[in-house]
Amino acid sequence: MPSPPIPQISPDELARRLDAGEPVQLLDIRAAERVAQGAVSFGPTLDFRALPASQIYRLPRLEPLELDRHRPVVVICGHGNSSKQATLFLREQGFEAYSVSGGMAAWETVYLPRFLSPTSSVEHVVQLDRVGKGALSYVLVSEGDAVVVDPGRHVERYDELLQELEATPAAVVDTHMHADYLSGARAAAALWRVPYFLHPDDARSPFDGTEGRFTYQPVTEGDTIAFGRATLRVQHVPGHTLGSIALLADDALALTGDFLFVQSVGRPDLGGQRDAWTRLLWRSLARIRREWPGHRLVLPAHYGGEPERRADRSVGARFDIIVATNEAIAIRDEAALLAWVAHSTPAPPESYRTIKLANLGLVDVSETDAEILEFGPNQCAVR
């Protein structure tokens, strides 16, 4: 007789349960160094523990794992293979265990859509939360036309959402040239046959000035992107990159990319010009302190953890709250900002240079390489 199938849970279902506040015991059986590079850290009720599978099998008793036998146990590994064996082992010990299909590789592809309050001209504001990276992208819909902002490389996720919303893509925008993940903007624009918007200062390598090999439509300070009856106004806010932009909608929303986060700002060192870009960042922060209204909702492209979430689980905050609580924007002296950035910014991940060049079309990356390069949470903020 064939063996019964090993019970599994999809990474999407795991994310939905954690997002809903369901208590989940999660056992990560990868090697300790892999866990240190990136692990599930999502949800306020996550009960996480990690021990390599080889050590688990040598335990005389499972009490050191401190697992509650009265609650299910979810087991995760790299690609969903070793976790099946560990799940079977735990079930033989009396636990209700489930293997995460696809493992951490699949967890990195989970996007949870969050439907935010509409504005006067945008009837759908959707924040897509890529929970494995702490990366956020957006779909804005006005009268059936959609603009997609900062998409990840998994374009099918956006296709599915657009179909659900019965919306037609009109444009794709990158708020800056990303370094922590491979952008899906160029692929999406080609698939949907719509313009790809980017600030021209980010269309070349920050390392040597080499022009990117791709087609785009440049947008600069004061330009607008119209769709349906809505208009996005472009504000140039350099600092994280030379071409960072914020997209302003109805004076109600600011999609800030990696320029401004809820609890920090985008690190200005990823182009190898930390002090020069910090001075640009200083001027950009000083400008929005003068010009932005307190009621404007800031919607960033990244977050660092659960404290940056609102009650509805979305990530964002009113600008007046950010001014009152964000350490970076509270610094009112350029020299002090330079010192704070220098003290708080670790060395950039080695993969970020390759990702940046891949997004510029200057290096080719296979799907296997993409999985390796992108693995782990983002490190885009000054912390």
Query: Can you say whether residue 30 is alpha, beta or left, with left for phi > 0 and alpha for psi between -120 and 50 degrees?
Result: beta
Specify whether 77 is catalytic. Answer: yes
Question: Can you tell me whether residue 330 is helix, strand or coil?
Answer: helix
The answer to whether 27 and 86 have CB atoms below 8 angstroms apart is yes
Catalytic pick among 39, 46, 77, 177 = 77
E-assigned strand segments in the chain: 8-9, 24-28, 46-50, 73-76, 97-100, 111-116, 124-130, 135-142, 145-149, 168-173, 196-198, 217-218, 224-227, 230-236, 245-249, 253-257, 297-300, 317-318
If we measure between CA atoms, which residue out of 203, 117, 108, 126 comes closest to residue 162? 126
If we measure between CA atoms, which residue out of 142, 139, 138, 146 comes closest to residue 123? 142
If we measure between CA atoms, which residue out of 318, 338, 359 comes closest to residue 175? 359
**Catalytic annotation, residues:** 77
